[in-house]
Amino acid sequence: MYFKYSIFIAYLLDLIFADPYNMPHPVKIIGKLISFLEDMFLKTHISKFISGIFTAVITISISYIATYYLINLSYGVNFYLGAVFECVLAYTVFASKCLEKEAIKIYEEIKKNDLNSSRIKLSYIVGRDTEKLSFSDIIRATIETVAENTVDAVITPIFFMIIGGVPLAMAFKAVSTLDSMIGYRNEKYEQFGKFSARLDDVCNFIPARISVIIFTFSAYINSLDWKNCIKIGLRDRKKHLSPNCAYPEGLIAGTLGIQLGGAHYYKGKLVEKDTIGDDLRDPDKEDILKSVKMLRVSTVICVITAFKF
């Protein structure tokens, strides 16, 4: 397995093509598998919690095994065919450029002073209610999403690719998809999605802490406040319902000198959260661009690090 080169080429493909909407993406297949298993198990008399475990284990196993055998069978036919499959599959676990594009779309709408369109664009990438958000709220939510997904969509996939190649990275992608589809604390998924949500926390545990180093270097390279990045990142690392999300949010809040977090509405229900960072100033739309620069440099740091292994 030439995962070093796969990561580098995957990174280049992501830069060039991002995430084409019409492409037959593995995540779409994983999503359909999750929906099928959910429908199947919820029709049985098995408890929701056990059904959720079965759904997660089957989805992750199929994702890993299918990726492993597809790559190895391709190499068995022809080296170059195997290399192509490995690089393309590695490319599909990246979401750096796509995340950047979505953040820039929101920035452009804010720049045009179009509040309604900004809310709509934000709703595509966050789970919270966006209908009543102000420009400041939208900016904060965008920055939080970029920070969190720098870990979830860049650092963690590369981390698992280093450990176990593309198949393990695809298995993590299955975990992430499970969490995004069924890992909710509501009446429908509280039990069924609990295992997937906790497993996602476990998978991101080490990468979230590694992000302290990566974000600090990124802040330094971008000539931002890297000292405050460390200070706030470590100080506020536990101020979130998730054991991992406060790390990237705190790091980016410290870097930019703004405050993130706080209470938000999710499907009409108010969810109280701690604030992260110091309320030194109101966030500005340019802070979105700074968070995107942090994402770009963090991605490059991860790719270079992977290539050194």
Number of structural domains (the chain) is: 1
- Report the SS3 class of residue 275: strand
Give residue-wise pLDDT tens across range 163-196: 999 999 999 999 999 999 999 888 889 999 999 9
Of 267, 155, 165, 290, which is closest to residue 214 (Cα–Cα)?
A: 155
Give residue-wise pLDDT tens across range 134-144: 999 999 999 99
What is the per-residue pLDDT for 2? 60
What is the per-residue pLDDT for 270? 86
Which tokens is 102 given? 């979505």
CA 47 to CA 42: how far, in whole Å?
8
What is the per-residue pLDDT for 47? 94
What is the pLDDT averaged over residues 208-216?
A: 97
- Beta strand extents in the chain (DSSP E only): 260-261, 264-266, 269-271, 275-276
pLDDT at 21 over 80: no
CA 110 to CA 114: how far, in whole Å?
6
Q: Which amino acid is at 32?
A: K
Of 239, 233, 163, which is closest to residue 203 (Cα–Cα)?
A: 163
- The boundaries of the domain holding residue 91 are 3-308
Contact 94, 9 (CB under 8 A): no
What is the per-residue pLDDT for 269? 84
What is the pLDDT averaged over residues 76-90?
A: 92
pLDDT at 58 over 70: yes
Q: What is the percent of the chain where pLDDT is above 70? A: 98
What is the pLDDT averaged over residues 73-91?
A: 93
What is the per-residue pLDDT for 187? 83
pLDDT at 18 over 90: no
Rg (CA), the chain: 19
Which tokens is 107 given? 């920035």
Give residue-wise pLDDT tens across range 264-298: 888 888 888 899 999 999 999 999 999 999 999 99
What is the pLDDT averaged over residues 212-217?
A: 98
What is the per-residue pLDDT for 116? 96
What is the model's pTM? 0.93
Non-local CB neighbours of 150 within 8 Å, separated by 6+ positions: 99, 211, 215, 248, 294, 295, 298, 299
